[in-house]
Amino acid sequence: MRLKRQLDKVVKTRTLHRAARAKVPFPIVALVGYTNAGKSTLFNRLTGAEVMAKDMLFATLDPTMRRVVLPTGDEVILSDTVGFISDLPTELVAAFRATLEEVLDADLVLHVRDIGHAQTAEQAREVETILSGLGLPDDTPKIEVWNKIDTLDEEAHEAALERAGRTESVSAVSAVTGEGMEALLAAISQALGGVKHLETLVVPFAAGRKRAWLFDQGLVEGDTPTEEGHEMQIRWSAAQKARYERL
């Protein structure tokens, strides 16, 4: 009974998080992958412990969700995921399903693989099966992150890097040594280039030309005059936002 109550609480908290998260004005990047693939290690490397203190809102909202500023200046929310385990006890299925379902909100999915594991192919298939079982839309952009390349022998290590170099949807990294992180961040920016997110701007009355550009581009979802200017709901990609800022 106690376990059941705790699980109900987990599910309820997750639901609240989802509601809060829906308002986050940044693309969401979800880490998925087999148990022990290195998701949490990669999450910590990409976000860095110091981000936690600077970003208390997200830190308190959910410790598995943190802001990352990409080298391009784009901001994303990186979300760690637990629960990619086969043969869960029945009582745990509901709680883990709730955490897994957060993946459905993602604009980009990073499928983290332990590329040095003897069963890496089987593990990847199992994760793909879970994702399609959850109903992840087929057109959700995905990057396969071949993690733990530091555990490969020299030849396999080179082969992994070479393959990643010529395959847009594959990155080869080591979350432990940091190798491949820059290329991974660039791949994330590239994959998110076309993803649109909703943002609220206050456009000063003097910036009529910029406001007209937003309408011309068909980006406006709401427009309310306030004392400071026009409060506008804009749905745009990082590239469109960058263009607006250069106007």
Taking residue 209's Cβ as centre, other Cβ atoms within 10 Å add up to: 8
Q: What SS3 state is found at 141?
A: coil
Q: How far apart are CA 137 and CA 132, in angstroms?
A: 8
Measured from the CB atom, is 40 or 140 closer to Mg ion?
A: 40
Joined together, the tokens standing for residue 178 give 């940091």
The region of 95-103, 133-141, 174-182, 225-233 touching ligand GDP under the rule CB under 6 A is 174-182
Q: How far apart are CA 231 and CA 133, in angstroms?
A: 40
The least distance separating ligand GDP from the CB of residue 180, rounded to whole angstroms, comes to 9
**Which of the choices ligand GDP, Mg ion, none does residue 150 contact, using the CB cut-off of 5 to 8 A by kind?**
ligand GDP
The least distance separating Mg ion from the CB of residue 55, rounded to whole angstroms, comes to 20
Counting contacts by CB under 6 A, is residue 119 touching ligand GDP? Answer: no
The site map against Mg ion for 70-99 (x = CB under 5 A) is: ------------------------------
CA-to-CA dists, residue 115 to 19, 185, 199, 230, angstroms: 35, 19, 38, 51
Counting contacts by CB under 5 A, is residue 44 touching Mg ion? Answer: no
The set of residues, in sequence order, having a beta carbon less than 8 Å from that of 99 and lying 6+ positions away, is 14, 81, 82, 83
The set of residues, in sequence order, having a beta carbon less than 8 Å from that of 110 and lying 6+ positions away, is 29, 30, 31, 32, 33, 42, 142, 143, 145, 188
The site map against ligand GDP for 40-79 (x = CB under 6 A) is: xx--------------------------------------
Interface residue list for Mg ion (CB under 5 A): 39-40
Interface residue list for ligand GDP (CB under 6 A): 33, 35-41, 147-148, 150-151, 174-176
